[in-house]
């Protein structure tokens, strides 16, 4: 299969005209080549070609809560947003905290996933066993530590427990909110604002404990640490300082932290309630700057859908924003707004995450890489496609997204084309045990 009249983004941020040949699911780039579209070719005239987005933080809610999304529906929503690889979080019901549960989840993805995928394991204190880590780590993205409770397991926020986990695992991805700092008592959104109930101090406290545990270990025993969904200026400052000090730390943020403030959350209620909470305009500006400076390495959706009736609860809506089906248009919006340049797009969309989690062949449009591509077109006046996620609502409806995803290719197979899913198979796990 060939893509003719192609204009693609190279990893340095230049736009290259030519022809893209797909050979056995891999890219062969022919800059400057011209060809007429023949049978089976894709004609990309008038469109831009981007690398498939690697969304390293999603919750497809399967097993246990598939009514909220599920693997089949969630990966279709991903294709519509230009996502070709996603990494699924382990706070399922039951949590993916044992080898047996991971294998069962892997089998579900094999049967249902329309995108490439990778899995995390959820940490409990018993995961500090080095033999367990040595057995499991090669087949997953990393260990996920929740410092705030997010499933049947309690939060892990004792510095000694963190240190033991850090010693055992090579890559540790952390939800850095220390729930021992949250306001006490049952939560009710009408009584206390979400960002007040989970105060900024819970993030500062979590970062202090992480740093304490890292510094307690000799450098060779320290893992790579990923600060997930950075939401504040505090995380940007911490990441900047720790990177300058030579620590192997990565930072992730999400579109909703770049676009909204807690005032928007208060106005929209459960639809913009997420963990960690969206904060101030100052935090938003710091995150936008961190994306360019490199303090923040990559963007993730933290796609976390709930049923519409749950989001609409006036008192105790669950936390989570469903954003995966607008991901590439959101990053292009940030680019059009001048927050990021073309030179940063490949890092933010895929290369930052693939370097962090050691995923091969998906770090941008290069010869020999997996042919995971997205064709987009500027069409600001065209209505957006109908919502696919089971959350049933577009949280970015008020954001003027100018770009539309026309086609998404997974390993060279057209999986999404002009609003339709072809059912193409070819998705694979990015870590093969
Ligand atoms: Zn999450």
Domain assignment present for residue 54? The answer is no
Domain assignment present for residue 433? The answer is no
Closest CA relative to residue 307, chosen from 64, 58, 69: 69
Which of the listed residues 330, 357, 384 is the one where a domain comes to its end?
A: 357
For residues 6 and 147, membership in a common domain is answered with no
pLDDT of the residue at 188 = 84
Q: How far is the CA of 88 from the centre of ligand 1 (A)?
A: 9
Q: How far is the CA of 100 from the centre of ligand 1 (A)?
A: 22
Domain total for the chain? 2
- Is 55 considered catalytic here? no
Contacts of 83 (CB under 8 A, 6+ apart): 52, 53, 54, 55, 115, 324, 327, 328, 408
Residue 269: both structure tokens together: 């209620």
Domain assignment present for residue 427? The answer is no
For residues 178 and 325, membership in a common domain is answered with yes
Domain assignment present for residue 428? The answer is no
The pLDDT of 39-51, averaged and rounded, is 96
For residues 286 and 328, membership in a common domain is answered with yes
Domain assignment present for residue 362? The answer is no
The pLDDT of 331-341, averaged and rounded, is 97
Check whether 406 has a pLDDT greater than 60.
Answer: yes
Which of the listed residues 314, 338, 357 is the one where a domain comes to its end?
A: 357
* Residue range 221-276, pLDDT digits in tens: 999 999 999 999 999 999 999 999 999 999 999 999 999 999 999 998 888 999 99
Domain assignment present for residue 337? The answer is yes
CATH number at residue 41: 2.30.40.10
Q: What three-state secondary structure class fits 92?
A: coil
pLDDT of the residue at 168 = 97
Domain assignment present for residue 363? The answer is no
pLDDT of the residue at 50 = 98
Q: What percent of the chain stands above pLDDT 90?
A: 88
Q: How far is the CA of 174 from the centre of ligand 1 (A)?
A: 10
For residues 413 and 288, membership in a common domain is answered with no
For residues 295 and 219, membership in a common domain is answered with yes
For residues 305 and 386, membership in a common domain is answered with no
For residues 93 and 186, membership in a common domain is answered with yes
pLDDT of the residue at 431 = 77
The pLDDT of 139-161, averaged and rounded, is 90
Q: How far is the CA of 59 from the centre of ligand 1 (A)?
A: 6
The span from the CA of 170 to the CA of 357, in Å, is: 10
For residues 280 and 384, membership in a common domain is answered with no
CATH number at residue 164: 3.20.20.140
For residues 255 and 399, membership in a common domain is answered with no
Q: How far is the CA of 377 from the centre of ligand 1 (A)?
A: 30
The pLDDT of 150-164, averaged and rounded, is 89
Please tell me which residue in 283, 297, 302, 363 is annotated as part of the active site. Answer: 302
Check whether 291 has a pLDDT greater than 90.
Answer: yes
Domain assignment present for residue 42? The answer is yes
Which of the listed residues 357, 379, 398 is the one where a domain comes to its end?
A: 357
The pLDDT of 164-184, averaged and rounded, is 93
Check whether 31 has a pLDDT greater than 70.
Answer: yes
pLDDT of the residue at 433 = 57
273 within 8 A of 305, measured Cβ to Cβ: no
For residue 55, the surrounding DSSP H or E stretch is strand 53-58
C-alpha torsion angle, residues 360, 366, 369, 374 (rounded to 10):
100
Boundaries of domain holding 27: 2-49+368-421
Check whether 432 has a pLDDT greater than 70.
Answer: no
Quote the longest CA-to-CA distance of the chain.
67
* Residue range 234-246, pLDDT digits in tens: 999 999 999 999 9
Contacts of 86 (CB under 8 A, 6+ apart): 54, 55, 56, 58, 60, 75, 78, 115, 116, 117, 118, 303, 324
For residues 340 and 242, membership in a common domain is answered with yes
DSSP states along 252-289: EE-HHHHH--HHHHHHHGGGG--SSPP--HHHHHHHHH
For residues 411 and 333, membership in a common domain is answered with no
| Whole-prediction pTM | 0.97
Q: How far is the CA of 200 from the centre of ligand 1 (A)?
A: 18
pLDDT of the residue at 130 = 94
For residues 99 and 145, membership in a common domain is answered with yes
Q: What percent of the chain stands above pLDDT 70?
A: 100
């Amino acid at each position: 299969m060939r893509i003719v009249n192609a204009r693609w983004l190279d990893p340095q941020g230049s736009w290259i005209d030519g022809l893209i040949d797909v050979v056995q699911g891999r890219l062969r780039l022919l800059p400057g080549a011209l060809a007429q579209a023949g049978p089976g070719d894709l004609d990309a005239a008038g469109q831009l070609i981007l690398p498939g987005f690697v969304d390293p933080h999603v919750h497809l809610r399967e097993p246990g809560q598939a009514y909220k999304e599920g693997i089949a529906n969630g990966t279709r929503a991903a294709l519509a947003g230009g996502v070709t690889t996603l990494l699924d979080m382990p706070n399922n019901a039951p949590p993916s905290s044992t080898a047996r549960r991971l294998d069962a989840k892997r089998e579900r993805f094999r049967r249902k996933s329309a995108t490439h995928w990778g899995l995390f394991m959820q940490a409990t204190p018993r995961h500090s066993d080095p033999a367990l880590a040595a057995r499991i780590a090669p087949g997953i993205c990393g260990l996920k530590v929740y410092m705030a409770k997010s499933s049947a397991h309690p939060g892990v926020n004792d510095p000694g427990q963190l240190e033991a986990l850090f010693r055992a695992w090579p890559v540790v991805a952390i939800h850095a909110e220390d729930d021992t700092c949250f306001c006490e008592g049952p939560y009710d959104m009408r009584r206390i604002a979400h960002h007040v109930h989970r105060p900024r101090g819970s993030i500062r406290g979590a970062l202090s404990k992480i740093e304490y545990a890292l510094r307690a270990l000799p450098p060779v025993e320290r893992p790579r640490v990923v600060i997930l969904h950075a939401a504040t200026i505090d995380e940007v400052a911490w990441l900047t300082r720790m990177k300058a000090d030579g620590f192997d730390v990565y930072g992730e943020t999400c579109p909703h932290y770049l676009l909204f403030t807690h005032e928007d959350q208060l106005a929209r209620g459960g639809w913009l309630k997420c963990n960690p909470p969206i904060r101030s305009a100052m935090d938003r500006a710091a995150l936008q700057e961190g994306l360019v400076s490199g303090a923040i390495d990559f963007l993730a959706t933290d796609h976390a859908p709930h049923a519409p009736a749950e989001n609409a609860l006036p008192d105790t809506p669950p936390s989570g924003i469903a954003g995966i089906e607008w991901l590439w248009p959101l990053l292009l919006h940030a680019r059009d707004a001048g927050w990021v340049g073309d030179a940063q797009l490949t890092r933010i969309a895929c290369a930052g995450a693939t370097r962090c989690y050691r995923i091969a062949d998906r770090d941008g449009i290069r010869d020999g890489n997996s042919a995971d591509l997205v064709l987009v077109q500027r069409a600001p006046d065209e209505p957006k496609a109908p919502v696919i996620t089971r959350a049933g609502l577009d949280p970015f409806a008020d954001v003027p997204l100018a770009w539309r995803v026309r086609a998404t290719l997974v390993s060279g197979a057209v999986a999404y084309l002009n609003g339709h899913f072809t059912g193409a198979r070819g998705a694979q796990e990015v870590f093969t045990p």
